[in-house]
Amino acid sequence: MIFFKNKQIPLADFFPEGFVDIHSHLLPGIDDGAKSLENSIDLIKKMSSYGIKNFITTPHVLGDVYPNSSKTIKNKLEEVRNELKAREISDISIHAAAEYMMDEQFSDLLAKDDILPLKDNYILVEMSYFNAPFNLYDILFEIQLKGYKPVLAHPERYNFYHTHFESYYKLKKAGCLFQLNLLSLTEQYGKHVQKVSAKLLKENMYDFVGSDTHHQSHLNLLKKIGTKKTFKSIEHLLNNNKKFIHSLSQ
């Protein structure tokens, strides 16, 4: 029986029907994700073959590096939707939000209510991989004061927290929801990230999952998560994501 414990599962059977990927970079040419409209469609088709047919794609909004406005994001979303329609690909539901770097520009957008939430009042946020913002908890407070709920993208990837695990508890206490990158369960970001993601899972600190797909190599590696052991550990998160789809409409 031990032999079958970690049996492979095809991804088409791994993701529950109605699962929605709440973190990806599928809009063409506006960040470090899809490079062209053709690339966008190829990524979506590949993910569809894995059983992922519902998307809230989240381009970076990052200072002068990726200064994407809500209008830019919505226009790019419309391009992708139109292309899917032109190709008669009708079983895909795609929406757009953003992955906001918690910086000064984000604070300005928040003040102006120029925010694209994942759904309702959930905002996907991130921070630098080098260090947290000096005013992180002020920003989290402002987000919630505005009536939003912060969903922190890939907390396991912030290496500066790896030796200060208590910081994760502090973030949760401050109202942060956590989104696990599915690829963090593989060697994609290194063994330290893999180890911390396992610990956060064990401590039941995650709320959602996301693929954080940028390119085809991410999707090739994603197949590695398809095991019974992994499915059992994140089934509740997959179902949390599934609940997102019920209030989404084209």
The pLDDT of residue 26 is above 90: yes
- pLDDT at residue 244, rounded to an integer: 75
How many Cβ atoms from other residues are within 10 Å of residue 239's Cβ?
12
Q: Which CATH number fits domain 18-247: 3.40.50.300, 1.10.15.40, 3.20.20.140, 1.10.3090.10?
A: 3.20.20.140
The pLDDT of residue 1 is above 70: no
The pLDDT of residue 3 is above 80: no
- pLDDT at residue 188, rounded to an integer: 94
Q: What is the mean pLDDT of residues 204-220?
A: 97
Residue boundaries of the structural domains of the chain: 18-247
Angle, to 10 degrees, between the axis of helix 37-49 and the axis of helix 70-86?
70
Q: Per residue in 190-229, is it b (16+ CB within 10 Å) or e — as a string?
A: eeebbebbeebbeeebbbbbbbbbbeeebbeebebbbbee
- pLDDT at residue 246, rounded to an integer: 65
Could you tell me if 60 and 96 are in contact, meaning their C-beta atoms sit under 8 angstroms apart? no
The pLDDT of residue 210 is above 90: yes
Whole-number average pLDDT of the chain: 95
Could you tell me if 216 and 225 are in contact, meaning their C-beta atoms sit under 8 angstroms apart? no
- pLDDT at residue 250, rounded to an integer: 44
The pLDDT of residue 20 is above 80: yes
The pLDDT of residue 215 is above 90: yes
* CA–CA dist 96, 155 (Å, integer): 21
- pLDDT at residue 45, rounded to an integer: 98
* CA–CA dist 91, 10 (Å, integer): 20
pLDDT in tens, 129-144: 999 999 999 999 999 9
* Lowest-confidence pick of 46-50, 91-95, 225-229, 243-247: 243-247
